[in-house]
Structures are given as structure tokens and as C-alpha cells.
Amino acid sequence: MRTLIAVCFLVFGVLPSVVEAQPAVGARLSGQVPTDRGFTIPLPPGSWTVTLVTDNQGRGYGFKVVALRNDTPDHVVPYLFVRWANKADTWEDFCLDSNNAAAFGTNRLGTQSSQLIQRCARLFVGSIPAANATGWWKGMEAGFTEADRRTLRAESLIMSELTVYKWRGDYARVEAFVRTGRHGARGPDLRDALRSNQPQPWNQALQSWSAQYVRQMEKAVLEGATVTVGSLGGPRLNSPASAPVQAAPPVTTAAAPTPSPLAAPAPTPVTTPSGSPSNAPSRPPPSTAPASEDVAKLAAEVAKLREELNKGRPAAAQNPSPAASPAPAPASPTAAVVPSSAVRRLALVIGNDSYQSVTKLQNARTDAKAMGDLLTRMGYRVRVRTDLTERAMKDELRSFKAEVQGGDEVLFFFAGHGVQLAGANYLLPVDIRGDSEDQVRDDALPLQKVLDEVQERKARFALAIVDACRDNPFKGTGTGRSIGTRGLAPTTAATGQMVMFSAGAGQQALDRLGDKDKDPNGLFTRILLKEMGKPGVSVDRVLRTVRSQVVEMARSVGHEQVPALYDQTVGEFYFRR
């Protein structure tokens, strides 16, 4: 009886409070949108009126949809569509651009399609859905007032699509319509600029805002946190919403001295969009002309830095002066990180061919030497080591770890045999015997140890490239059974790390395309070397191009080889500028 009473209490007492929390048409919301899933979805600052509450069915699951109109007239973000659902067992890559060729500026925010939690921010050239729209936008035209439909259809819009999703958990999406056309930035022009890697202030503002919004959504939806209104804001503009964006005129000062190369540029004035109150306190404008004695000090520091860099010593360690080491402004998730002489770039390159107890290889040493030569030309301080024993491999890693300092850019390259045991990846020294799985675990070098060592040293960017996905070297050894599994298992990368395998899980990497292939380098490495040498291409774009070309060339000889990439970096890094 008590159980029955408790159940009745839950059904008739708690449930109504949840239902009553659902937004209704005409309601005004600020801060968050309540949902029937027990979480809230954050809103940008200001007051929002609910214009539509509906269900949207598709692909075996249903969405709740709430459309909201910004109560501030002519606001830069006039409408939001907020969707949520429980995805149950559905597995889908919601950030796959091949599903929608119109998408651009895609940012997975460090997640992969194979991970349980996915984050995605991407942009579209926006338009108001038509009355006869089907699928995703079916019935959504009703979320816009009649007057706004006429007005917005005549404008150039960008839609920012923001998604967080947990497998067998909750899904939330916000679609924000942004009036870039009113600020002198047409949607097609922004799309073309971003796809051609041309810098554009509006794109940078949109991508930075979108990435921040997704992070806040994750906290609210997946972690149950209450996100305050002040932690979100619209895209940062160069002008109010009522005026077009114009380039700021150059700042001139009578008798202004030439700035030092280390002096930070004067910040661009940022005006909060109309109707989006800022919580930042008022500050006086910064001085645009440093005192002459400060300029002299900076010039002396620059000369000292150059002298020490030419001697190969880390400048940051030798010059703790604040003038010599100004604190950098925090970069947005989409800001490019440009290598400079002040950033140390280190690489450990290993190639193992001459295995003593398992199958010998032919290309690993050649691959390692070619990689070392290229990295040296690019300005890396490179250690190239070949045919290392267990002790030598572990000693090299220990020495390399000691050399890495906070803020360094680090690359680790290994060519040789590798094996996976119980989901962990091991890189094999040339004296490995393979008598048992325990012996392999003790004597081989765990890839995760390499990643952990670099992470411990707080390198700002670390790339591990492993060309070890060859046939299992321990098939039928010793006791007549195989040890481990061919290829490498999927791995995880820490923030600031990127890992690439020459082939996917369980696949075999080709050394050559056939008997007539006389290239001294393996298939993966030869393509990698060619693409790394191209200037002005970000690391992630280089690696994705390598993956596509490897797949194409392997399939030309009837082989399946899809290099695996695991990316947890924030920002963009380059082999060559």
C-alpha cells in the first residue's frame, strides 16, 4: 500500500511540476529554456518570447522544438530554434559535413564521431524555412511572425548550428539566425572567405561565439549545471546592430614611435550588440603610444632575445622580465596559432627495421630519416634514432621528456612494429621476443606512456604519428597462438594533442603498392612527407588530406587502409607558414 501511495505521489505530484515547467507560446524567457528532460538549455542575454512549441519526428526519434523571438527590435540574433531529445541507442555523426554540403566552418571542439560525447558547431548560409518545408524544418515557418518573415527573407543571414550529444543520453541543438547582412557581411561572402582560409572578422566572431555557446550547452545539458545569463553573449561586433560594419580607421598619434615587434597590437574596439547588455566594467581606452624609455627597453629585450635564440637557448627561460615575456591574450578556439622563433619545436623520430626475433621491416629507418630531415628544415630540434632496443627506446623517451618545456610544440614519429593487447597499443623495440603477452607488455613501449609524458610536461601542442599498423609480428609464435591483434586499437588524446595512425583499427598499412613500386618510403609516410612540406596549410588539414590520398592509393591496388586521426587540439598549428 505504501508503495502504491509513493507511486501515485510521483505520478500525480512530481509530473505536473515538470509539465508546468515546459515553455508555452507567448511566454517570455531569459537565461534558460526549461525542458522535460530535467536539464535547461542556455539562452543568450536578453528577453525572448516563445513563438512556437512543437514536436518534430525523424529517423526513429522525436524532438521537442521551441522557437524564440528576440524582444529587442533589430537585434543581430533575431530568432533561435531550440531542440532536444533523448537519443536512446541511436548512433550518428551529427557533425559530418558530407551529410550536408552547405555546412562550413565546422568545429568538433575536440571530439570525434566515435566518442560517446560529441560537440559540434558549424555555419550555414541561412534563410527562413518555406511554408512547404519538409523533414527537419517542417512546420517551423510558424515560428516566425508574418512581418519578420518578410523582413528576414530580404536579408542575408547566417545560421549557427550548435549541438551537444551523448550516446544513450541527451541531445540538444540550438539554431541561431544571425543578421550578418545588416553589418556589411553577406552570408555567401563569409562562407567563401572561410572555405578559402581568408581571414574575416565576422567569421572569427561567429566561430568564437559558437564554440563558447556549445561549451555552455554541454555544461547545462550533460552536466546539469546552471549556466548564468552573463556567461553567454552574441557575436562580438565592430558596430551597433543598426549600423553597417566598417573598418576601423588607423589610430594616429603625433610623434608616435615605431612599435617594437614584441609590443601587442592595440585592441580593436568591441561594441556589444544592441539589446545585449555587457557585464564588463567600463575601462579607459589603452594608450596607443608607449613612452620612449619603454620603447628603448623593449628594443633592448628584443635584441637580447634574438641573440639567445641564435645560440639555441630557450629564450623564455633566460628572460623572465615582464617586458620580454608579455602575457598573451587568450586565443579563441578558432584562432590560428602561428609558429614563431620564440616557440620551441622539438621532435623525437624513431625507425625500427632490424628486428631480431620477429619479421624484419624494410622502410622504417628510411621513413624516420626522411621525416627527421624534413622536420629539421622546418626548424624543429630533432632526435632521429633507428633500430632501438628496449632499453634504448625507454632511455630516449626519458631524455626527450626532460627536454620538453611548457609551451613547446612537440612531434613524436614512430615507424616499426606495433601491436595491440587488450585495447592498449605497444611500440616494439628491435630486441622484443614475444614469448608471452606479459613479456610484451613489460618490454615494449606503451604509446599511452608517450602521450602521458608529453602531457605531463605541458606542451601546448603535441602530435604523435605512428606508422606501425603492419601485420601482427606475433602470429603463431612460441606456443603456436598469436599474441595481440593486427593493427592498433583506437586511442584517446588529451587536450592539445593529436594522434594519427597509418591505418585504422585492425587494418594493415602498406609499405609499397606492388613489386614495381620502388619508392624508398612506405605509402603513408611518402604522402605525409609531401603534404607536410606545403606552406600555409594547418596541421589538421594536412593530416586529413593525407588520409584521403592514402585511402585512394590503397584502393587502387585493392587494399583497404584508412589512417585514423584523433584530434583534441584547440586552435590551428602549422608545419610551415
HEC string of 516-572? Answer: CCCCCCCHHHHHHHHHHCCCCCEHHHHHHHHHHHHHHHHHCCCCCCCCEEEECCCCE
From the list 525, 523, 489, 522, the residue with the least C-alpha distance to 506 is 489
Strongest mean pLDDT among 7-11, 158-162, 468-472, 491-495: 158-162
The H or E element spanning position 366 is helix 364-377
pLDDT higher than 50, residue 336: no
Cell of 225: 549545471
Percent of the chain with pLDDT over 70: 70
pLDDT for position 481:
32
Q: Delineate the domains of the chain, giving CATH numbers in brackets.
A: 19-231 (3.40.1000), 345-567 (3.40.50.1460)
2-6, 55-59, 542-546, range with the lowest pLDDT: 2-6
Contact 346, 408 (CB under 8 A): yes
List 463's β-bridge partners, or say none: 411, 498
State the Cα–Cα distance between residues 352 and 431, nearest whole angstrom: 10
Tell me the C-alpha distance between 268 and 554, whole Å. 49
State the pLDDT at residue 472. Answer: 65
- Rounded to the nearest 10 degrees, what angle do helices 390-403 and 447-456 cross at? 20
Instruction: Tell the burial category of 224 from Cβ atoms under 10 Å away from its Cβ (0-12, 13-18, 19+).
Output: exposed
Tell me if the pTM is above 0.85: no
pLDDT > 70? residue 188: yes
Checking if the pLDDT of 183 tops 70, the result is yes
341 or 134, which is more confident: 134
pLDDT tens-digit map of 139-153: 899 999 999 998 898
Confidence of residue 381 (pLDDT cuts 50, 70, 90): very high
How many angstroms separate the CA atoms of 63 and 73, rounded? Answer: 29
Of 501, 409, 491, residue with least CA distance to 457: 409
Q: Which carries the bigger pLDDT value, residue 116 or residue 245?
A: 116
Mean pLDDT of 185-208: 83
Share of the chain above pLDDT 90, in %: 33
Q: Which long-range contacts (CB under 8 A, 24 or more apart) does 132-136 make?
A: 135/58, 136/56, 136/58
| Phi/psi of residue 225, nearest 5 degrees | -80, 155
Angle, helices 364-377 vs 523-532, to 10°: value is: 10
Looking at residue 200, what is its pLDDT?
A: 78
Longest dimension (CA), the chain: 89
Least confident of 299-313, 314-328, 474-488: 314-328
Q: Is 241 exposed, middle or buried (0-12, 13-18, 19+ CB in 10 A)?
A: buried
Q: Say if residues 172 and 164 touch (Cβ distance below 8 Å).
A: yes
For residue 53, pLDDT over 90 is answered with yes
Q: Quickly state the pLDDT bin for 87 (edges 50, 70, 90).
A: low
- CA–CA separation, 9 and 435 (whole Å): 64
- Alpha-carbon gap, residue 94 to 412, rounded angstroms: 31
User: Distance between CA 291 and CA 295 in Å, rounded?
Assistant: 6
DSSP 357: S
Q: Taking the CA of residue 444 as centre, how many other CA atoms within 13 Å lie in the half-sphere pointing to its CB?
A: 31
Q: Residue range 118-138: average pLDDT?
A: 85
pLDDT at res. 172: 92
Least confident piece of the model among 66-70, 266-270, 382-386? 266-270
Q: Is 416 a residue whose pLDDT tops 90?
A: yes
| pLDDT interval class at 165 (50, 70, 90) | confident
